[in-house]
Amino acid sequence: MTVMINFQTDPSKYRHWKVEYEGPVANLYMDVDEQGGLFEGYELKLNSYDLGVDIELADIVQRMRFEHPEVKVVVMQSAKDKVFCAGANIRMLGGATHAHKVNFCKFTNETRNTYEAALADSGQNYICAIKGACAGGGYELALACNHLMLTEDATSSVALPEVPLLAVLPGTGGLTRVTDKRKVRRDLADVFCSIEEGVKGKRAVEWRLVDEVFPNSRFDEAVKERAAEMAAASDKADVAQGISLSPLTRSISQDGVTYSTVEVTLNRAESRATVTIKGPQGAAPADMESFTAEGAAAWMLRCARELDDAILHLRNNEKELGLIEFQTQGDPAAVVAHEALLLANKDHWLAAEVLHYWKRVLKRVDMTSRSLVAIVEHGSCFAGPLAELLWAVDRSYMMLEEFDGDNRPLANVTLTPGNFGTYPMGNDLTRLQTRFLGTPEHIDALQALAGDALEADAAEEQGLITYAYDDIDWEDEVRLFMEERASFSPDAMTGMEANLRFAGPETMETRIFGRLTAWQNWIFQRPNAVGPEGALQRYGTGVRGKYDMERV
The CATH code of the domain that includes 487 is: 3.90.226.10
The mean of the pLDDT values for the chain is: 95
In a domain, 550, yes or no: no
* Per-residue pLDDT tens digits for 147-203: 999 999 999 999 999 999 988 888 888 999 999 999 999 999 999 999 999 999 999
CA neighbor of 272 nearest in space, from 330, 327, 351? 327
Instruction: Give one word for 271, left, alpha or beta, with left for phi > 0 and alpha for psi -120 to 50.
Output: left
Helix (H) / strand (E) containing 479: helix 474-487
Phi and psi dihedrals of 491, rounded to 5?
Answer: -65, -45
297 and 209 fall within a common domain: no
* Per-residue pLDDT tens digits for 297-306: 999 999 999 9
**For residue 552, what pLDDT band results from cuts at 50, 70 and 90?**
confident
In Å, how far from its chain's centre is CA 538? 32
Please compute, for residue 320, the number of CA atoms within 13 A of its CA located in the half-sphere on the CB side.
6
Phi and psi dihedrals of 258, rounded to 5?
Answer: -120, 125
Range of the domain at 470: 250-494
- 71/231 Cα distance (integer angstroms): 8
Residue 551, pLDDT above cutoff 90: no
Could you tell me which residue, 515 or 269, shows the higher pLDDT? Answer: 269
Residue 461, pLDDT above cutoff 60: yes
In a domain, 441, yes or no: yes
What pLDDT, on the 0 to 100 scale, is given for residue 70? Answer: 97
3-class SS at 148? strand
Q: Calculate what percentage of the chain has a pLDDT beyond 70.
A: 100
Can you state the percent helix, strand and coil of the chain, rounding each to 5?
45, 15, 40
Cβ within 8 Å of residue 541, ≥6 positions away = none
219 and 297 fall within a common domain: no
Q: Calculate what percentage of the chain has a pLDDT beyond 90.
A: 88
In a domain, 530, yes or no: no
User: Which is it for strands 453-455 and 412-414: parallel, antiparallel or unpaired?
Assistant: antiparallel
Cβ within 8 Å of residue 510, ≥6 positions away = 426, 427, 502
pTM listed for this prediction: 0.96
What pLDDT, on the 0 to 100 scale, is given for residue 499? Answer: 87
In a domain, 120, yes or no: yes
Instruction: Examine the fold and report which residue of 494, 512, 542 is the final residue of a domain before the chain moves on.
Output: 494
What pLDDT, on the 0 to 100 scale, is given for residue 2? Answer: 67
What pLDDT, on the 0 to 100 scale, is given for residue 5? Answer: 96
3-class SS at 158? strand
What pLDDT, on the 0 to 100 scale, is given for residue 1? Answer: 43
Helix (H) / strand (E) containing 449: none
Single-letter amino acid, residue 78: S
Residues 318, 271 contacting (CB under 8 angstroms): no
**For residue 521, what pLDDT band results from cuts at 50, 70 and 90?**
confident
Strand partners, 383: 414
206 and 268 fall within a common domain: no
The count of structural domains within the chain is 2
